[in-house]
Amino acid sequence: MNLKLTVWRQSGPGTQGRFETYQATDISEHASFLEMLDVVNTELTREGEEPIAFEHDCREGICGSCGMMINGVPHGPSSRVSVCQLHMREFRDGEEILIEPWRASAFPVLKDLVVDRGAFDRIIDAGGFISVRTGSAPDANALAIEKDLADHVMDAATCIGCGACVAACPNASAMLFTSAKVEHLNKLPQGQPERDARALDMVAQHDAEGFGNCTNHGACQTACPKGISVDFIADLNRDLMKATWAEAGREARVGD
| pLDDT, tens digit, 9 for 90 and up, residues 163-204 | 999 999 999 999 999 999 999 999 999 899 999 999 999 999
Residues 234, 122 share a domain: yes
Residues 167, 147 share a domain: yes
Domain span at 148: 118-255
Residues 10, 51 share a domain: yes
Cα gap 163→169, rounded to integer Å: 10
Residues 250, 125 share a domain: yes
Q: What is the mean pLDDT of residues 34-44?
A: 98
How confident is the model over 129-170, as pLDDT tens digits?
988 776 777 676 777 889 999 999 999 999 999 999 999 999
Confidence of residue 251 (pLDDT cuts 50, 70, 90): confident
pTM for the whole structure: 0.93
Q: Which residues contact 153 (CB under 8 A, 6 or more apart)?
A: 183, 184, 185, 187, 188
In this structure, which amino acid lies at residue 235? D
* Total count of domains within the chain: 2
Domain boundary among 111, 139, 172: 111
Asked whether residue 52 carries a pLDDT value surpassing 90, the answer given is yes
Residues 247, 161 share a domain: yes
Cα gap 124→134, rounded to integer Å: 20
Domain boundary among 52, 87, 111: 111
Cα gap 115→13, rounded to integer Å: 9
CATH assignment at residue 182? 1.10.1060.10
How confident is the model over 210-246, as pLDDT tens digits?
999 999 999 999 999 999 999 999 999 999 999 999 9
CATH assignment at residue 15? 3.10.20.30
Residues 162, 201 share a domain: yes
Domain boundary among 111, 136, 152: 111
Q: What percentage of residues in the chain have a pLDDT greater than 90?
A: 89
Give me the pLDDT at residue 249, please: 87
